[in-house]
Chains A and B, each alone.
Chain A
């Protein structure tokens, strides 16, 4: 290397020195250690003991693991597509020339920055089976069928729908992302489509959706990653990691947390974390493949 190259290397490493430490201590070491622990028996109180594939084979026969995986996939399977639909609809509405647009945008966005613990409190109150305002609103619908409205978080059949419903309240973030995407669609496309006699449905289907497909893809991936790791609202609203009632809200991250920090089975928990990683990577890969031909990148 020349003197100049040495100098640049020194400067570059100097500027990056904090990151060299940070990446090593807070990311690379934990990744390596976690991979090692996943093949070990480890309780943090004692040194890890090599156990080979034991953690992974235990997982296969662990009913609670499968329940948590099933619950998580059900939650993600509903909340991600519904969230995409709701946020896209809101963004399409906001993309019109309407009076007070900024006000609507603020109203749709604000819930997504409310601290999750606070919004969990609020929704527990709304879902309350006895005095909850939601049951007052939808109670008449249930009575039409001769039913009483559900106890939501108190009923194993309704606790997941409650959490899915609540997740839709926080879609403001992806609404703003969609809106930014919608505003990048050149107006001329719509104009020429209108001249050719395209209906508003056709404009949506053949111009808007293809033009914002990269944004839809981004929101889909973010949705998958986020919903598979859902933790805080469930922990708060169902009172810990039991997944009450009747394990109906025992999600993957809750089971992982309680395995690691309550049962101190840190090896098993690390193995679970790696399975989660593979699951996220796998689903992302599937989504990417499915999207490849449908995504339209302009410029």
Chain B
């Protein structure tokens, strides 16, 4: 770090500011979209903030949706016949024929005014739903965050329809417990917690054997261990699937956490490097006092190794939380899905229409990771730095 000239300072701050906008904006956009009503996501140009529009009708404030801005002098008319009787539409003035009995004139619509509709929960229009043309000044705009998008996203993530969640139709299978976000969160937690436990315990044990005990064949075995780090996952994918299939584990969470109890080359390497920095004299002194290797490991080495254990735990948690390919390969039933897989299947079901709910569900998947980051910031940064430069 060096002292900067004024021009240099300006350049650095400009760069950082630009970077901040580019890196922070997408996440901010996710949050903003997650608290918008659906119709405010489907507008171009995009609407930055989630708002509520209200119009005073018969002395009562009514929340409305802005459907269309009137660009040319028009009229609002209502159909008087046919199966769409009572439906209101906008029509350009020159196309409107006052003598046509099929339409009844409601009002004139001047450019700059808006066609608005009373806002109902589901945006479904029935006969009683009020639709009018109002001038721009009549519409009151205020900020309104639709926090209720979150519970709705939670409920619909498992495949229940929005109508069912809102109670407008009856649940199709009232007997079975519905699969919701909480099911997926539970599955993800199992995979993460057991995986972290396995990673820390197994790799510490194994690395101790490589770092602190001298035995014949050790270095050869360690070399083999390091060599396996070069093998990309696709090479292992097919036979691993076969292994889990013959164990009867396809469709269960076992393939996602059991292997972590049997060590991983990278973590063994990471911990071995750390254990080797602990002075050998500590172990020697304990051995002279008659300590067993197990006690030395458990009472001396492990307590001193908290930083490296934390790094391994943290990164395994992150990996397990974010993993998509594993769950995609091994999980078959919705009840066993992890959050990452459930989020993808939610998206593919809704065909990318309900962006506000998708963003709400995504936000819920991201928030635990962000909280974790803020609690373990130091471990994160140190972990990356050590694995990157010393690895």
Residues in chain A within 8 A of chain B (CB atoms): 1, 5, 8-9, 11-16, 18-19, 21-23, 25-31, 33-34, 37, 44, 89-90, 93-98, 104-111, 113-126, 128, 130-133, 136, 169, 172-174, 176-177, 179-181, 184, 187, 190, 200, 214-215, 218-219, 225, 228-229, 231-232, 235-236, 239-240, 253, 256-257, 260-261, 266, 269-270, 272-274, 276-277, 280-281
Please list 14 pairs of residues, one from A and one from B, whose beta carbons are closer than 8 Å in the complex, sorted by A's number: A11-B209, A12-B209, A23-B265, A44-B241, A93-B19, A107-B20, A109-B381, A113-B318, A117-B344, A121-B347, A125-B355, A177-B385, A218-B388, A229-B232
B43 at the interface (CB under 8 A from A): yes
Q: Establish whether residues A44 and B46, one from each chain, have CB atoms under 8 Å apart when the complex forms.
A: no
In Å, the complex CA distance between A253 and B329 comes to 13
In Å, the complex CA distance between A200 and B388 comes to 26
B143 at the interface (CB under 8 A from A): no
Q: Which residue of B lies closest to A240 (CB)?
A: B348
B27 at the interface (CB under 8 A from A): yes
Nearest CB on B from A273, distance (A): 4
In Å, the complex CA distance between A231 and B362 comes to 19
B245 at the interface (CB under 8 A from A): yes
Given that A16-B221, A125-B33, A177-B385 are known contacts, is A22 also in contact with B202, CB under 8 Å in the complex? Answer: yes
In Å, the complex CA distance between A179 and B388 comes to 11
Name the one of A96, A97, A98, A122 contacting B29, with C-beta atoms under 8 angstroms.
A122
Nearest CB on B from A251, distance (A): 12
In Å, the complex CA distance between A105 and B23 comes to 11
A123 partner residues in chain B, CB cutoff 8 A: 26
In Å, the complex CA distance between A117 and B348 comes to 12
Q: Mark B255-275, 1 if CB is under 8 A from A, else 0.
A: 000010111110010000000
B218 at the interface (CB under 8 A from A): yes
A257 partner residues in chain B, CB cutoff 8 A: 237
Q: Mark B12-40, 1 if CB is under 8 A from A, else 0.
A: 11011001101110110110010000000
B377 at the interface (CB under 8 A from A): yes
Q: State the interface size on chain B (CB cutoff 8 A).
A: 99
B181 partner residues in chain A, CB cutoff 8 A: none
In Å, the complex CA distance between A11 and B210 comes to 11
Nearest CB on B from A277, distance (A): 5
Q: Establish whether residues B340 and A117, one from each chain, have CB atoms under 8 Å apart when the complex forms.
A: yes
Nearest CB on B from A104, distance (A): 5
Pairs A-B, 8 closest by C-beta atoms: A22-B262, A15-B209, A12-B215, A177-B388, A180-B385, A33-B239, A30-B239, A118-B362
Q: Establish whether residues B234 and A15, one from each chain, have CB atoms under 8 Å apart when the complex forms.
A: no
B157 at the interface (CB under 8 A from A): no
Q: Establish whether residues A116 and B235, one from each chain, have CB atoms under 8 Å apart when the complex forms.
A: no
Name the one of B13, B238, B388 contacting A260, with C-beta atoms under 8 angstroms.
B238
B373 at the interface (CB under 8 A from A): yes
In Å, the complex CA distance between A235 and B343 comes to 13
Q: Establish whether residues A30 and B213, one from each chain, have CB atoms under 8 Å apart when the complex forms.
A: no
Q: Establish whether residues A111 and B384, one from each chain, have CB atoms under 8 Å apart when the complex forms.
A: no
Given that A15-B213, A177-B384 are known contacts, is A122 also in contact with B30, CB under 8 Å in the complex? Answer: yes
Q: Establish whether residues A8 and B388, one from each chain, have CB atoms under 8 Å apart when the complex forms.
A: no
Nearest CB on A from B301, distance (A): 11
Nearest CB on A from B5, distance (A): 9
In Å, the complex CA distance between A282 and B241 comes to 27
A9 partner residues in chain B, CB cutoff 8 A: 215-217
Q: Establish whether residues A121 and B209, one from each chain, have CB atoms under 8 Å apart when the complex forms.
A: no
Given that A12-B209, A116-B322 are known contacts, is A18 also in contact with B232, CB under 8 Å in the complex? Answer: no
A31 partner residues in chain B, CB cutoff 8 A: 228, 231, 235-236, 239
For window 333-380 of chain B, which residues contact chain A by CB distance below 8 Å? 339-341, 343-344, 347-348, 352, 355, 358-359, 361-363, 365-366, 369-370, 373, 377, 380
Q: Establish whether residues A118 and B206, one from each chain, have CB atoms under 8 Å apart when the complex forms.
A: no
B261 partner residues in chain A, CB cutoff 8 A: 18, 22
B242 at the interface (CB under 8 A from A): yes
Given that A117-B343, A215-B389 are known contacts, is A273 also in contact with B238, CB under 8 Å in the complex? Answer: yes
B293 at the interface (CB under 8 A from A): yes
In Å, the complex CA distance between A128 and B29 comes to 13
B96 at the interface (CB under 8 A from A): no
Q: Mark B78-96, 1 if CB is under 8 A from A, else 0.
A: 0000000000000000000
B53 at the interface (CB under 8 A from A): no
* 6 further contact pairs, Cβ within 8 A, besides A231-B324, A236-B347: A34-B238, A94-B16, A117-B324, A131-B44, A180-B388, A187-B1
B15 partner residues in chain A, CB cutoff 8 A: 89, 93
Nearest CB on B from A270, distance (A): 5
Q: Which residue of B lies closest to A123 (CB)?
A: B26
B243 at the interface (CB under 8 A from A): yes
Nearest CB on A from B270, distance (A): 14
Nearest CB on B from A71, distance (A): 16
Q: Establish whether residues A93 and B202, one from each chain, have CB atoms under 8 Å apart when the complex forms.
A: no
For window 167-194 of chain B, which residues contact chain A by CB distance below 8 Å? none
